Structures are given as C-alpha cells and as structure tokens.
C-alpha cells in the first residue's frame, strides 16, 4: 500500500508569538493581562514590616520603662557565696584521744563534750600539786614560828650580854685592887665578848626570819600563793582533757581519731554556727557607683531556687578587690597588660527570720540584688567598732571546786597558828 504524505502546517509546531498571546491595542502594542498576585505580596510585606516595627517600638518602650522604674535602681550578680564562722576545735593540752563524742553533721550546743583525752598524767600532777601546797603551808608556818622563837632568843641573849657586862665590870674593879687574878679577869672579858657576839648573831637571825614573813600572813605569803597557783594550773590541765564545743552549731571537718596523740593548737574538728552566716557578693567595680551601707537586698539560693527570697542589708564594702588579697597578687607592670574589670566583695547581712526557716550552708551559691534607690548612706563605715561581735565563755572554767580544795588543804595544815589573815 502506498504511503500518503500528510500535509503539515508550518506554524503548527512553532511557539506562539507574543503578539498571539496578548491582545494588541489600537496602535499595535501588546499589554500583559492584569495580575492580582503582585499586589497581594506587596500588601503582606508592608503589613509584616509594620508589625515588626510595632514590636520593636513596644519592646523598646518596655525596656525603657523597665530601666526607668526598676533597672537603674537595682544591680544583680550571681557571683555570690555564703560565708560564715568556721570555729576550730583545738586541744589546750597534749594527750592521747580516748573517746570522741560528736561526728560530722551533728548538732552541738556550747559546752557539750566533743573529745576526751587520757587524764592519767593530769591526775598525778594534780595530786603532786596538792601535796606541794600542804608542804608549803607547813614550811611557811614554821617560818612564822621561827621568827617568834628568835625574838625570844634575842631577849635571852640580850640578858646574857647584860650579865656578862656586869661580871666584867666587877672583875675590872677587883683587878684594880688586886682582888682577882689575871686569869679570872680574862675569863670575864671573854664571856663579855662571847655574849656580845651571840646577841648580834641572834639579832641578825631574827632580822632574816622577819624579812621572810614581813608584811604577810600565812594565807598571802608568796610561797603559799605560788603553791596555790601550781595547784590551780594542775586542776586546769585536768579539766582541759575534756574538750568542749566553743559555740552552738554543727560539727564539720572532723579529722581526729581515737588513739591519736594531739598537741595544743592542732585542729581536731570545726563547729559551724549556721545562725551567724552572711553573703559576700562580688560585684564589678563599674556597678558599685551607687551602692551604700544599709541598702536593702534580696537574695535567692540555688539550694531553694525561687521558692524563697531572703532579705538583708548591705553591711559594707571590702577594703580591696579579690586580686589584691590573693595569695599571689597580680603584677600588672608588664608590657602586655590588658585591662580587666575587677570585682569587689560586698558583705550582705541576712535577716535572722529567713535563716531560721530556710537555713543556709557555708559556701552555697546565691543570686543577690541590691536596691540602690536610697543613696544617702556611706560607702565605708565611719564609726569605730565597739563591743564584742563574737565570743565564747566555754573556756572560762568555774573554779569554785579548786578554790574549795585549796581552802581545805590550807586549813588542814596550818595548825593552831595565830598568823591568819
């Protein structure tokens, strides 16, 4: 079968011309048809820019209001930590630890027994001191008695001297009339010299004896007072074998062990009074322009989070930066010096009510905000410190026991003397 060629249209496969796609105006120019998408996109863009501008304006106005009403009167830092007194417990005498009565985290009150040392040597020393006091009282009593005895001796020697002088005078008169031999006269002369020497000796002995007791009584004689002091010292050494808590608080850093030989000044443990804590907030030096003593402070602890807000006041600003008080202070006299903003510790005194319900621990992290609205205060304290900030009366032992012991020993060894005070 013969093939027939199908006539083709030369314009059938050609792309449409622009003149075919768009209608022509009267002058033969073509125009695209109106399209609404371009106008819609432009409107949306304008609305977004307008919204963005409003957000920026509102945010700026909000920040301005925040800064004017709150921000410029408050400074905040997270570089703040709880500080407190860590009271060391140390022995006052050497000895061997025989018992420990408190462990870390235990609550103790001032005067509670913490550690006991072996008191065998201390008890022996106390008995020796008691015997020494008794012996001293007897010796001093003998000094007073000796003075009284020497007074009688001087009186006797003086009478003997007077008798020897009369005998010599009579022998001298007899010798002049040859009524006595030369030997008898010399004997009378010798007796006079002997009596005179004995009298002088007795007088010197009496003076020495009186000097040993002059202006004193048996109770206030120096030897007796020294023996009493030795006895008190021995009694104190015995008492100090019982190491007591110096203050109320919680035991920490216990390092002592049973059987350990301890020396005075060595640290056995520590007692931390958590009702005496404070906060040291380290602010940049550029933030402290308006900080004054007494300004109110709000604090939050990482331990409790925002559930509790502590309140306090600025107690003072440190006398130097942290670098100035470092073990190795910075040496800035170098050619590659770079300025670094320093931080100054600000001491915050906390309210006691907050610490009672939400106790803090030494070293905890805090967030501190100081309100600087009131700027009439001082940056440094002007009045000198007066009164006691911290004290303990535990080491002032009640000595009524040893005083009664001394009085008993003195009374038992003084006898029926007339030299009492």
Fold topology of 121-216: Helix Hairpins (1.10.287)
- C-alpha 404/C-alpha 397 separation (Å) is 14
pLDDT digits (tens, 9 = 90+) for 404-417: 999 999 999 987 65
pLDDT confidence of residue 5:
46
pLDDT confidence of residue 377:
85
* Largest Cα span, the chain: 220
Across 165-185, average pLDDT: 79
Residue 284, pLDDT above cutoff 70: yes
- C-alpha 228/C-alpha 222 separation (Å) is 10
Across 47-64, average pLDDT: 86
pLDDT-derived band of residue 419, with 50, 70 and 90 as boundaries?
low
Beta strands in 242-384 (DSSP E): 242-244, 249-252, 261-262, 269-272, 278-284, 296-301, 305-317, 343-350, 365-371
Across 308-315, average pLDDT: 94
pLDDT digits (tens, 9 = 90+) for 354-410: 888 899 999 999 999 999 988 888 888 888 888 888 899 999 988 999 999 999 999
For the chain, domain boundaries: 121-216
pLDDT confidence of residue 203:
79
Q: Number of C-alpha atoms within 13 angstroms, CB side, residue 138?
A: 9
pLDDT digits (tens, 9 = 90+) for 229-255: 999 999 999 999 999 999 999 999 999
pLDDT confidence of residue 49:
86
Phi, then psi, of 13 in degrees rounded to 5: -95, 0
Distances (CA, A) of 306 to 10, 144, 299, 303, 413: 85, 81, 9, 9, 73
pLDDT digits (tens, 9 = 90+) for 248-275: 999 999 999 999 999 999 999 999 999 9
Nearest CA to 349 among 281, 273, 283, 289? 281
């Amino acid at each position: 079968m013969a093939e027939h060629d199908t006539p083709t249209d030369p314009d059938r496969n050609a792309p449409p011309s622009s003149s075919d796609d768009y209608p022509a105006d009267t002058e033969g120019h073509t125009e695209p048809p109106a399209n609404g998408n371009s106008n819609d996109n432009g409107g949306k863009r304008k609305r977004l820019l307008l919204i963005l501008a409003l957000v920026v304006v509102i945010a700026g106005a909000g920040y301005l209001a925040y800064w004017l009403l709150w921000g410029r009167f408050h400074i905040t830092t997270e570089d703040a930590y709880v500080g407190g007194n860590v009271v060391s417990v140390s022995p006052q005498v050497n000895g061997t630890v025989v018992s420990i009565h408190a462990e870390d985290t235990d609550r103790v009150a001032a005067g509670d027994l913490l550690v006991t040392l072996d008191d065998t040597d201390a008890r022996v020393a106390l008995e020796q001191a008691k015997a020494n006091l008794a012996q001293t009282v007897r010796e001093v009593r003998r000094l007073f008695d000796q003075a009284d005895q020497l007074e009688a001796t001087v009186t006797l020697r003086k009478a003997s001297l007077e008798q020897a002088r009369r005998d010599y005078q009579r022998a001298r008169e007899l010798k002049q009339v040859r009524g006595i031999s030369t030997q008898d006269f010399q004997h009378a002369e010798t007796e006079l010299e002997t009596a005179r020497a004995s009298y002088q000796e007795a007088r010197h002995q009496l003076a020495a004896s009186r000097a040993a007791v002059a202006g004193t009584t048996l109770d206030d004689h120096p030897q007796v007072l020294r023996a009493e002091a030795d006895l008190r010292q021995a009694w104190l050494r015995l008492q100090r074998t019982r190491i007591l808590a110096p203050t109320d608080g919680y035991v920490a850093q216990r390092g002592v062990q049973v059987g350990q030989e301890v020396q005075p000044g060595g640290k056995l443990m520590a007692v931390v009074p958590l009702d005496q804590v404070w906060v040291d907030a380290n602010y940049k030096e550029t933030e402290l322009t308006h900080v004054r003593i007494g300004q109110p402070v709000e604090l939050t602890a990482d331990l409790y989070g925002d559930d509790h807000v502590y309140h306090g006041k600025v107690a003072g600003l440190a006398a130097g930066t942290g670098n100035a008080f470092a073990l190795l202070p910075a040496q800035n006299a170098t050619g590659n010096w770079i300025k670094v903003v320093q931080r100054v510790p600000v001491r915050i005194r906390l309210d006691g009510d907050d610490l009672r319900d939400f106790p803090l621990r030494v070293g905890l992290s805090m967030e501190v905000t100081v309100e600087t609205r009131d700027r009439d205060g001082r940056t440094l304290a002007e009045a000198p410190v007066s009164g006691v900030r911290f004290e303990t009366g535990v080491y002032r032992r009640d000595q009524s026991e040893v005083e009664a012991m001394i009085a008993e020993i003195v009374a038992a060894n003084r006898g029926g003397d007339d030299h009492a005070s």
